[in-house]
Amino acid sequence: MQLITLTDIEQAQQRVRSLARHTPLLPMMLPELGPEQVYLKPENLQPIGSFKIRGAGNRLMALTAEERARGVLAYSSGNHAQGVAYAARQLSIRATIIMPTNAPRVKIENTRALGAEVVLYDPAHEKREVIAAQLLAGYAEPPVLVPPFDDAHVIAGQGTVGLEIFADLPAVELVLAPVGGGGLLSGVAAVLKALKPSVKVVGVEPELAADAQESLRAGRIIAWTAAQTSRTLADGVRTLAVSELTFAHLRQYADDIVTVSEAELRAAARRFLLEARLVVEPTAALTLAALLRHRATLPPSQHTVLIISGGNADPATLTELLHPQEAV
């Protein structure tokens, strides 16, 4: 299977320059970690509040004129949906997005506000891939499918996060990234291993949606059910399985995938909100939760980067995170 290259990611950076921001590295004080310097990569500061603008933007920017005229179709739990919708609006491309009914309301509303047509489905009884195939079959000239992670252009776009990390912090030794379908971890790990092989890149999942960790350790893709993954508050990583493409990248480049509990996830999100003063969605707190839980077993590092994947949280979720007595 063809893996993406450093050149692919550098080309993606040129394509998405007009769509995605170069987000800064922000230091975060964590006294319990001693001299380790921890930096946050705040992708919640992107125009759509998520790193997903990078992969979606790279895929749409690479479309031919004929493909743009046909429009695009995507499926997503929320952030990829907004990334596709935003890029499509900027490029005057028609976009249809398939979203689960249990996606945060703010993500559904934002996707519609960006001009995309939203088709909702029940994840407990329907599969988004089947719905996408049915919709595509109804067109004489079907739109181009833009998957959330199973696409080389999407992975390369997400890899631009790693390019920026290395450019801003060449001394980086450890990077932690959330894992859903594996596109972000695949791209970031691929570029950092190419630029600095000694860098350790570790993915993070909730214990309640740990299909990628199980797959990586078993050496084969293992899928979880929607009933299993829907239990986690981290809606951005409720993907049922990684793809063959992302799994190949993870096996080649990722150093490990670790998990955290829901209580640890909530506590980390609260610290981001109150100490880093950043609005984050629960998925974005996975990396801090992992660093605090697994510091003794993670690779040693004096310069660590935590990727904050997004900030699209419903107000009710933010209120809940700020009241730890309500945590489960």
Active site residue 41: no
Could you tell me the fold of the domain covering 53-145? Rossmann fold (3.40.50)
In whole numbers, what is the pLDDT of the chain averaged over residues? Answer: 95
pLDDT tens-digit readout, 178-210: 999 999 999 999 999 999 999 999 999 999 999
Give SS3 for 50.
strand
Assign domain 6-46+151-326 to a CATH class: alpha beta
- Supply the pLDDT for residue 326: 53
pLDDT tens-digit readout, 310-325: 999 888 889 989 886 6
> What is the chain's alpha carbon radius of gyration, rounded to the nearest angstrom?
18
Given a cut of 60, whether residue 91 has pLDDT beyond it is yes
pLDDT tens-digit readout, 125-179: 888 889 999 999 888 899 999 999 999 999 999 999 999 999 999 999 999 999 9
Average pLDDT on 45-71 reads 97
More confident residue, 324 or 13: 13
Binning pLDDT at 50, 70 and 90, where does residue 248 land? very high
Question: Would you say 276 and 28 are in contact if contact means Cβ atoms under 8 Å apart?
Answer: yes
- Supply the pLDDT for residue 290: 98
Give pTM, 2 decimals. Answer: 0.94
Given a cut of 70, whether residue 55 has pLDDT beyond it is yes
Q: Do 6-46+151-326 and 53-145 show the same overall fold?
A: yes
Q: Where are the domains of the chain?
A: 6-46+151-326, 53-145
β-pairing, 174-178 vs 200-206, is parallel
Binning pLDDT at 50, 70 and 90, where does residue 328 land? very low
Considering Cα of 239, then 245, then 248, then 249, what sign does the dihedral take?
negative
Q: Which two tokens stand for residue 242?
A: 């990684």
Average pLDDT on 97-113 reads 91
Active site residue 309: yes
Given a cut of 50, whether residue 23 has pLDDT beyond it is yes
Given a cut of 60, whether residue 241 has pLDDT beyond it is yes
Question: Would you say 4 and 148 are in contact if contact means Cβ atoms under 8 Å apart?
Answer: no
Average pLDDT on 269-297 reads 96
CA distances from 155 to 87, 149, 182, 225, 245 (A): 16, 6, 9, 24, 9
The single residue of 77, 243, 301, 309 carrying the catalytic annotation is: 309
Binning pLDDT at 50, 70 and 90, where does residue 327 land? very low
The single residue of 52, 107, 193, 200 carrying the catalytic annotation is: 52
